[in-house]
């Protein structure tokens, strides 16, 4: 495992089990969303929102409250509804 071999490595982990294992081994890690926030902070990307949209189109699971929190941390508007942030209403369509 690269994280064990190189002491200054930061792993990118989104899986809960992988994060728990990394934490138990005292390895440094971040997730995809943390990586996007760091990229925005370092001005490597202009905005997080379009990338969140692309990730969700690729079926990256992101709860609406998590999306809002990430956008708030990025200093971006959270009011624009996307297909993933609108509630899904099931029932009679007509």
Decide if 4 is inside a domain: yes
Domain tally for the chain?
2
Given a cut of 80, is residue 48 above it in pLDDT?
Answer: yes
87 part of a folded domain = no
pTM above 0.85, yes or no: no
Bigger pLDDT: 70 or 92?
70
CA torsion sign, 77 to 80 to 81 to 83?
negative
The stretch 36-45 carries a mean pLDDT of 96
Domain limits for position 46: 32-82
Beta bridge partners of 6: none
In this structure, the answer to whether residues 46 and 24 fall within a common structural domain is: no
- Same domain for 22 and 38, yes or no, is no
Query: What pLDDT does residue 50 have?
Result: 95
Q: Are residues 26 and 39 in the same domain?
A: no
Distance CA 40, CA 28 (A): 20
Higher local confidence (pLDDT), 65 or 89: 65
Residues 60 and 49 in one domain: yes
């Amino acid at each position: 495992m690269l994280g064990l071999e190189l002491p200054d490595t930061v792993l990118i982990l989104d899986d809960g089990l992988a994060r728990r294992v990394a934490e138990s081994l005292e390895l440094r890690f971040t997730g995809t969303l943390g990586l996007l926030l760091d990229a925005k902070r370092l001005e490597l990307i202009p905005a997080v929102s379009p990338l969140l949209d692309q990730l969700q189109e690729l079926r990256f699971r992101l709860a609406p409250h998590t999306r809002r929190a990430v956008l708030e941390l990025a200093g971006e508007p959270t009011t624009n509804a996307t297909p993933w942030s609108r509630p899904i209403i099931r029932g009679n369509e007509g």
